[in-house]
Structure 1
Amino acid sequence: MIFRQLFDAASSTYTYLLACADTREAMIIDTVFEQYDRDAALVRELDLEVRYVLDTHVHADHVTGAWLWREQTGAQSGIADAANVDEIDIRIANGDVFAFGNESITARATPGHTSGCLTYVTRDLSMAFTGDTLLIRGAGRTDFQGGSAHRMWQSIREQIFTLPDHCLLYPGHDYDGRTVSTVAEEKAYNPRIGGEAKEEDFVGYMNNLALPHPRLIDIAVPANLKGGKPDQPLVNESWGPIIQTFAGVPEIRPDWVARHRDELHLLDVRSEGEYSGELGHICGAQLIPLDELRDRLSEVPQEKPVIAICQSGRRSAMATQILRQGGIDHCANLAGGMIQWQRLSLPRTALD
């Protein structure tokens, strides 16, 4: 199985991408709205098709990307039926199975942090995605959204600690950089519910956390009760079909650039020798070598979107960062550079 653990630094949220290596069907657990471009780029680069976008619960610290994935890719979104969420495709019950290619996960109801929490377990019981029910050496708070320390005790003991000791546990968050634990570890070392802790010990601990409410709760919870659907229509780049790579680089296809050359400013960041060398250059492209670009930004016209160009698309990727740092937001990297431009037999200099 293909597996990736992704991180949102603003909310310390983990997003999980799982996919079948044979069919390339995939699913995502606990997406973050602001990370859609990053995650979609990874899906595209791995040649995957996302079938399901599932949440472990109604989050209070970030807005889910479930609605956005539905709109952009046609993936089906899902969350616990008990969460009472609108704008959702699947209302999940305990025991529901979700297949993606030759792989599958099963939903286990694990209320306690909220009344609608789920833990997702792979078919071979080797991995479990616990959301905020069980964290690494901790457990999610139980003081709002229908939370209950007693119910969480039962959920962890009956649904998570009954998994094999070697089962890897992946939490919804971690604020100290920890990425994974196991059932055996949490049974032994979790300070809230591990070791010889009894229910009254756990409940007493949880009921006295006295934590402040999450900073974004007033924004996140209402949005997540609508499946992450924003109140206002999204604003997209209007000047061209930008593709954001997993590395965060805005790219654009060379054939589109060739068809819209008069509407764009082409900026070649190679050396002068390369500009007039074997690969040639695109007619009318401005030459500013990458090493000089920061000092010569004022020479780059801003009336049109800027397309950065180099040999392979690597140096020009850095050029887009320099352009954006300099306040030129409407810019993109020519995907594949002049190598791809030549491969596609697109017009270069007047000699073509």
Structure 2
Amino acid sequence: MYFRILNNETSGELTYLLADLDAREAVLIDPHACDLPVLLALLAERDLRLRWVLRSHHHDALQPEEFGHLALLGAAVVQGDALAALSLADGVVLPFGGELVRILATPGHTSTCLSFGWRDRLFCGGLLAVTACPHQQRPADPEALWDSVTQRVFTLPDETLLFAGHEQRVRAVSTVLEQRRWHPYFAGQTRDEFLAHMAALPDKK
């Protein structure tokens, strides 16, 4: 197996490359159009065929050309508002080589956010990085966000590794146990307290 983290130092956005080197098949999680030359070079370097482009969330209203550019990668683009068109749904597994990635519907940061489970890891985009997204600094649906985090993410095994879509205090990875105990917005909070904190977040300038 091959696993690579790519960090866009300008935006703080993170992209993940997963590959089965024996089968020469790969998945990209949260790629960005501005990084296409680097991503294509990485795939070509190891002669990898891209099976899936997985987007935990997107802001295509702000970046209307992004989807079209990502389609140039030549693989199906999986995102929350396109699951039905691809005959996919919550809980479906996507194969690449001898590996599987599971889709989890985790709305909240945006109304159609997805997370992707692979082995002992969950790639959860902006779900836990509540104010770190450069395109949207407060959740679109705080109620759904609370439910997604507390009912879907925090119920996973303690040792599950959580990979963010954005840098948060220079960290890309944590664990379910760590976030459940110490997350600044979720740990030790009631649902009402969390929603009050979200309502008090300043609007993006």
- TM-score category, normalised to shorter length: 0.7 to 0.9
Given the alignment, which residue of 86, 93, 96 partners 1:100?
96
Which one-letter code corresponds to 2:198 in the other structure? M
Cα drift, residue 24 of structure 1: 1.4
Classify 1:102/1:13 alpha carbon distance in 2 versus 1 (closer, same or farther; 3 Å).
Answer: same
Q: Given the alignment of the two structures, is residue 39 of structure 1 paired with residue 33 of structure 2, yes or no?
A: no
The CA deviation string for residues 178-223 of structure 1, in whole angstroms up to 9 with x for no partner, is 12111011011101001x211111111111111415xxxxxxxxxx
Cα drift, residue 90 of structure 1: 3.0
2 CA distance for matches of 1:127 and 1:162? 14
Given the alignment, which residue of 160, 172, 177 partners 1:184?
177
Aligned CA RMSD, in angstroms, stands at 2.6
Q: Which residue of 2 aligns with 1:133?
A: 127
Classify 1:4/1:52 alpha carbon distance in 2 versus 1 (closer, same or farther; 3 Å).
Answer: same
Q: Which residue of 1 aligns with 2:193?
A: 201
Classify 1:98/1:66 alpha carbon distance in 2 versus 1 (closer, same or farther; 3 Å).
Answer: farther
Classify 1:107/1:163 alpha carbon distance in 2 versus 1 (closer, same or farther; 3 Å).
Answer: same
Q: Determine if contact 1:33/1:63 at 8 Å carries over to the other structure.
A: no
Classify 1:67/1:51 alpha carbon distance in 2 versus 1 (closer, same or farther; 3 Å).
Answer: farther
2 CA distance for matches of 1:197 and 1:154? 13
Structure 1 residue matching 2:166: 3-state secondary structure:
coil
Classify 1:100/1:45 alpha carbon distance in 2 versus 1 (closer, same or farther; 3 Å).
Answer: same
Which one-letter code corresponds to 1:42 in the other structure? L
Which one-letter code corresponds to 2:91 in the other structure? G
TM-score (norm 1): 0.53
Cα drift, residue 139 of structure 1: 7.6
Quick one: percent identity of the two aligned structures?
35
Structure 2 residue matching 1:185: 3-state secondary structure:
helix
Cα drift, residue 63 of structure 1: 7.0
1 CA distance for matches of 2:132 and 2:90? 20
2 CA distance for matches of 1:30 and 1:64? 15
Q: Determine if contact 2:132/2:167 at 8 Å carries over to the other structure.
A: no
Which one-letter code corresponds to 2:190 in the other structure? K
TM-score (norm 2): 0.87
Structure 1 stretches lacking a partner, 5+ long: 214-352
Higher strand share: 2
Q: Determine if contact 1:142/1:148 at 8 Å carries over to the other structure.
A: no
The CA deviation string for residues 265-285 of structure 1, in whole angstroms up to 9 with x for no partner, is xxxxxxxxxxxxxxxxxxxxx
Which one-letter code corresponds to 1:67 in the other structure? G
Q: Which residue of 1 aligns with 2:155?
A: 162
- Structure number with greater CO (CA < 8 Å, separation at least 6) is 2
Structure 2 residue matching 1:150: 3-state secondary structure:
helix
Q: Determine if contact 2:51/2:75 at 8 Å carries over to the other structure.
A: yes
Cα drift, residue 133 of structure 1: 1.1
Classify 1:166/1:175 alpha carbon distance in 2 versus 1 (closer, same or farther; 3 Å).
Answer: closer
1 CA distance for matches of 2:101 and 2:116? 6
